[in-house]
Amino acid sequence: MSAGPNNDDWVWVANPDHYILHEIGDSTFAFSRVSGTTHMLNLVSRAMLDYLAEHPKTLTQIIAGFAAYLEVPPEECPSGVVRRLFGELDEVGLVERVEP
Amino acid sequence: MSNIQNKDGDFLARRRQLLKLGAAGVPMVLTLKASATQPVHSALDCAFVIPDEVTILVDYDGKAWMGDDSIREKHGKYKTQDIERFKSNADYMFPDSTVPERFRPDECDTGQNDANGNDCGWGNDIDDPVGDNNDQDSCPADPPRETPWFEEEGEDGEPGNRPNDYSGNGNDWRHGGGGNGNGNGNGNGNGNGGWTDCYKVYKISRNTTITPADYLSGNGNWNLNGANGLYLLLAGKYLDTYGNDGGFPGISCLLSILNYLEMQ
């Protein structure tokens, strides 16, 4: 399901049962059991995947909390970047919308 | 939480650096393609918008200049004075042979004083700064010789050794025609020099969206055409020379695709 248009009532999660991770150095290869495709994540997108796997969140919560999760100042993690990062994971099917 | 979150300072620094790249538009997720003929890749989906109108000037030797000045055109020829001004003010310059022949002018008239002798070609050689034009007053000065591409060309980097350029006797037909014209001062009525067909001009409108993947064939080869294709070609050359310094619109997007292709 696409991340946009979005609705603030929608909650999103990355379900570890739906993918297999394999780390090589700073890169993580994520094989999606759902789509059968493999995606290469860097440290930032991997962090987002882990962040989304913690528990379901709305996009607003995702945007508000990701900088702290990364342990960087908010100005280094603009909302547009978080939104796009989330969108990239959603686009390849690693993020799922779930019932609140 | 993954053990990748067990981080030290170096790990955090690397991640922050990646975050900056993300802010610059570099995709953070790459999808490995399913087959050699079916590239499915999120990095290939990137696109960029040209913020302001871009004009690309290409000469017969494959040099290119990129900028935002206007160049008057009449019957397939371009105003020599505008050409010189454009070169002087160009934002980016690319050396000989950068542009493939298919983007270059089809022909190049020798320009024997087609504007009543008011020839504003690059007729000035190094040893004779004033050249032998008789109509210097109505002509712009030669472009600066310390342009970056100048030093990059030729075996020994000496501008004077470049063929068809400043080492000549003022008759460099590829740059505006015979500098030994009689220059009778009549010009074309406005003193703005002649017209030349030794260049080709490409324009890209403001807010044009370029999706590099549109110019990739199924087997990963580039198929560049038109003004947008030329822009991508020059962006690639810029990337080769200067790297991803962020100053050239679209570089980050193009880099992500090139990186992806290199991994295949």
pLDDT of the residue at A44 = 93
Count of other CB atoms within 10 angstroms of residue B2: 14
Residue A8 located in a structural domain = no
pLDDT of the residue at B192 = 54
**Residue from the list A40, A43, A81 with its beta carbon closest to the beta carbon of B14:** A43
pLDDT of the residue at B86 = 93
A76 to B16: CB separation less than 8 angstroms, yes or no: yes
Q: What is this model's ipTM?
A: 0.83
Residue B43 located in a structural domain = yes
> What value does the mean pLDDT of chain B take?
67
- Residue by residue, DSSP assigns B119-161 as --SS--BTTBTTTT-S-GGGSPPPPPTT-HHHHHSSSS--GGG
pLDDT of the residue at B255 = 74
**Residue from the list B11, B16, B42 with its beta carbon closest to the beta carbon of A91:** B42
Is the pLDDT at B172 greater than 80? The verdict is no
With contacts defined as CB-CB under 8 Å, which chain B residues touch A40?
29-32
pLDDT of the residue at B26 = 77
Residue B38 located in a structural domain = yes
pLDDT in tens, B113-141: 444 434 444 433 333 344 444 444 444 44
Instruction: Name which of B200, B28, B219 is nearest B106 in CA terms.
Output: B200
- Give the residue from chain B lying closest to A89, CA to CA: B29
Find out whether B31 and A41 touch, Cβ atoms under 8 Å: no
3 state DSSP class of B196: strand
**By percentage, how much of chain B surpasses pLDDT 90?**
19
With contacts defined as CB-CB under 8 Å, which chain A residues touch B16?
70, 72, 76
pLDDT of the residue at B44 = 61
- Give the residue from chain A lying closest to B39, CA to CA: A37
Closest Cα in chain A, distance from residue B211 (Å): 17
Confidence of residue B39 (pLDDT cuts 50, 70, 90): very low
Structure tokens, A20: 């297999």
pLDDT in tens, B243-263: 665 567 777 777 777 776 665
Residue B47 located in a structural domain = yes
pLDDT of the residue at B23 = 76
**Among B1, B5, B31, B260, the residue to mutate for chain A (most A Cβ within 10 A):** B31
Question: How far from B27 is each of A41, B84, B201, CA to CA, in Å?
Answer: 10, 39, 33
Residue A97 located in a structural domain = no
Closest Cα in chain B, distance from residue A10 (Å): 23
**Among B16, B17, B19, the residue to mutate for chain A (most A Cβ within 10 A):** B19
**Among A19, A40, A54, A85, the residue to mutate for chain B (most B Cβ within 10 A):** A40
Residue A98 located in a structural domain = no
Is the pLDDT at B178 greater than 60? The verdict is no
B18 to A43: CB separation less than 8 angstroms, yes or no: yes
CA distance linking residue B15 with residue B4, whole number of Å: 11
Residue A4 located in a structural domain = no
Beta strands in chain A (DSSP E): 11-13, 19-24, 27-32, 38-41, 57-58, 96-98
> Domain range spanning residue A21?
16-91
Closest Cα in chain A, distance from residue B205 (Å): 26
Structure tokens, B182: 């009689």
> Domain range spanning residue B215?
24-51+205-263
Closest Cα in chain B, distance from residue A61 (Å): 18
pLDDT of the residue at A82 = 92
Written as one letter, the residue type at B70 is: S
**Residue from the list B22, B31, B40 with its beta carbon closest to the beta carbon of A44:** B22
B29 to A70: CB separation less than 8 angstroms, yes or no: no
Residue A100 located in a structural domain = no
A50 to B4: CB separation less than 8 angstroms, yes or no: yes
With contacts defined as CB-CB under 8 Å, which chain A residues touch B29?
39-41, 45, 88-89, 91-92, 94
A41 to B15: CB separation less than 8 angstroms, yes or no: no
CA distance linking residue B20 with residue B71, whole number of Å: 38
Backbone dihedral angles phi then psi of residue B149, each to the nearest 5 degrees: -70, -20
pLDDT in tens, B66-116: 988 899 999 889 999 999 999 988 888 888 899 999 999 988 875 544 444
What is the number of helices (H) and of strands (E) in chain B? 5, 10
Is the pLDDT at B13 greater than 90? The verdict is no
Give Cβ neighbours of residue A77 (< 8 Å, ≥ 6 apart): A66, A67, A70, B19
Stretch (H or E) spanning A50: helix A43-54
Confidence of residue B5 (pLDDT cuts 50, 70, 90): low
Domains of chain B: total = 1
Residue B170 located in a structural domain = no
What residues in chain A have per-residue pLDDT under 70?
1-6
Is the pLDDT at B1 greater than 80? The verdict is no
Mean pLDDT over residues B42-69, rounded? 84
**Residue from the list A23, A38, A47 with its beta carbon closest to the beta carbon of B32:** A38
Residue B126 located in a structural domain = no
Is the pLDDT at B152 greater than 90? The verdict is no
CA A89 to chain centre: 5
Is the pLDDT at B40 greater than 50? The verdict is no
**Residue with more model confidence, A24 or B154:** A24
Domains of chain A: total = 1
Residue A52 located in a structural domain = yes
A40 to B29: CB separation less than 8 angstroms, yes or no: yes
Residue A61 located in a structural domain = yes
Closest Cα in chain A, distance from residue B28 (Å): 6
Instruction: Name which of B129, B123, B227 is nearest B181 in CA terms.
Output: B123
pLDDT of the residue at B22 = 78
CA distance linking residue A95 with residue A88, whole number of Å: 9
